[in-house]
Amino acid sequence: MELRDRICVVTGGASGIGQALCRRFAAEGARTVVIVDKDADGALATADAVGTQGTALTADVTVEADIEAVVERTEAEIGPIDLFASNAGILGFGGIEAPDSVWESVWSVNVLAHLYAARAMIPLMLERGGGYLLSTASAAGLLSQPGDAPYSVTKHAAVALAEWLAITYGDLGIKVSCVCPMAVNTAMLRGGAGPAAQDTGGSEGSGASRPETQAAAVAGILSPERVADSVVAGIRDERFELDRGELDVERHDGGGLQIELGNGIERQRLHITQLAAA
Ligand SMILES: NC(=O)c1ccc[n+]([C@@H]2O[C@H](COP(=O)([O-])OP(=O)(O)OC[C@H]3O[C@@H](n4cnc5c(N)ncnc54)[C@H](O)[C@@H]3O)[C@@H](O)[C@H]2O)c1
């Protein structure tokens, strides 16, 4: 899909990867970029940077009514949403000892918010015969690595949800892409503490202990702009998995994906439909 003249919504647009996506979508000629974030000032700052194509909305993506309101308001005041990017995400530090409150808050932002966006958008997109859902997961959603279990597990779930949506609605015109970068130079990587970190007193993890930071030691740190470049190229080609950093991916005859990390870890992924056919 080309982004020219499209109406795009980006959650987590106040900072980091989301902010870079907003700027890049505008540079590609998007008609309007709706910057959604719970950080109202940050969303306004991104809208200012985007210029006349940018508009800011304050919302908490873990509240389904907030996502519904974003969709309803955008469709009523601007027009039909062509692309909804579920990008907002938070860290979740710790292992099995991490309290339920951490698991629940990370699950809400990293997974349920993507579900709420799909629930709000898919009926509208089906009615008009197409649309695009973008999901920011992570390389931590493709490869299990030591460290923050709530983050890694919820990112695996985000990839799974995106795959399920792609398989279920792809033939009905709804395109899905899932962004899976390794370490990206944003507030999150620099040790930014999300609510989950505060729940654990901020003592159980830091940017340095995160899977993506450990991976960066192998593969280097990406800039948010580099991720946005790769996302735009992937949307243009309508590819499912975007930006695996240095992950080396080959398509195999069976249609599955062989994903290799530079340090020798590898994992085979097969889509459910392909497994069923095997
Ligand atoms: N930085 C990395 O190394 C990296 C790597 C791979 C994937 N990711 C993913 O990329 C996405 C963006 O992360 P980033 O690195 O740009 O982080 P960031 O902290 O710079 O930006 C995240 C944004 O999400 C917003 N947000 C958080 N919770 C919200 C909520 N409940 N409602 C509305 N907005 C909310 C924050 O206010 C912030 O503006 C996340 O999903 C993250 O997991 C990050």
User: Structural domain tally of the chain?
Assistant: 2
Ligand 1 pocket, residue 228 CB under 6 Å? no
pLDDT reading at 266 higher than 70: no
Please give, one letter per residue, the 3-state secondary structure of 154-195: HHHHHHHHHHHHHHHHHHHCEEEEEECCCCECCCCCCCCCCH
What average pLDDT does this structure show over 208-216? 50
Q: Cα–Cα–Cα angle for 166, 172, 174, nearest 5°?
A: 50
* pLDDT cut 70: percent of the chain above it: 75
The Cα–Cα gap between 162 and 137 comes to 9
**Is 2 part of a structural domain of the chain?**
no
- The pTM (predicted TM-score) of the whole model is 0.86
Provide the 10 A C-beta neighbour count for residue 157: 18
Domain that holds residue 267: 248-278
Residue 184 · residue 17 · CB < 8 Å: yes
**Two structure tokens written together for 24:** 């890049």
Residue 91 · residue 151 · CB < 8 Å: yes
Ligand 1 pocket, residue 37 CB under 6 Å? yes
Same domain, 134 and 205: yes
**DSSP one-letter code for 63:** S
Same domain, 142 and 275: no
Provide the 10 A C-beta neighbour count for residue 153: 19
Question: Nearest to residue 144, comparing CAs of 95, 108, 185, 109?
Answer: 95
Same domain, 107 and 76: yes
Write the single-letter amino acid at 271: H
Same domain, 207 and 153: yes
The Cα–Cα gap between 258 and 244 comes to 12
Same domain, 218 and 277: no
The Cα–Cα gap between 181 and 227 comes to 7
Same domain, 168 and 278: no
What average pLDDT does this structure show over 240-265? 46
Same domain, 110 and 136: yes
Is 151 a catalytic site residue? yes
Residue 56 · residue 50 · CB < 8 Å: no
Same domain, 96 and 189: yes
Ligand 1 pocket, residue 184 CB under 6 Å? yes
Nearest residue (by CA) to ligand 1, atom 23, is 12
CATH number at residue 48: 3.40.50.720
Nearest residue (by CA) to ligand 1, atom 6, is 138
Q: Which ligand 1 atom is at minimum distance from the Cα of 158? A: 41
Q: Please report the pLDDT score of residue 1 as a whole number.
A: 94
Q: How far is the CA of 276 from the centre of ligand 1 (A)?
A: 35
Q: How far is the CA of 197 from the centre of ligand 1 (A)?
A: 14
What average pLDDT does this structure show over 198-210? 43
More confident residue, 150 or 192: 150
Same domain, 202 and 260: no
